[in-house]
Amino acid sequence: LFSLVTRSNVMNKGSPVAFFIINSETLFTISRWLLWLKFECSFYSKRTMINCSVTEMDVILSTFGTKVQVLVFYWHIRRAWEKKLA
């Protein structure tokens, strides 16, 4: 499940604007969805928060360029680190 939430500068609150449900995380599928949002809905991301996924990172950077700030959930980083140490 991918959720797209935007923040209002006026109200300073987030609102969900799009959802995308897929059964596998592939570069092609996610890329098509983000490109559709970008070109058909004029969506541009300044900041994106993701799970610890190389695929998501690659798609976001290739779609929106390197100026987008990609944030990774701390919990996922810590879990990946602990799994490597175990």
Which of 59, 78, 76 has the alpha carbon at shortest distance from 68? 59
Q: Specify the 3-state DSSP secondary structure of 46.
A: coil
| pTM value > 0.85 | no
- Tell me how far apart the 2 most distant CA atoms of the chain are, in Å: 46
Rounded mean pLDDT, 59-83 = 84
The SS3 of residue 2 is strand
pLDDT tier, 86 (very low <50, low <70, confident <90, very high otherwise): low
Q: pLDDT (tens digit, 9 = 90+) per residue, 14-63?
A: 888 888 998 888 889 999 999 999 999 998 888 888 887 889 899 999 99
CB 52 within 8 A of CB 77: yes
CA nearest to 55, candidates 34, 83, 78, 84: 34
Return phi, psi of residue 11, to 5°: -90, -15
Is the per-residue pLDDT at 76 higher than 70? Answer: no
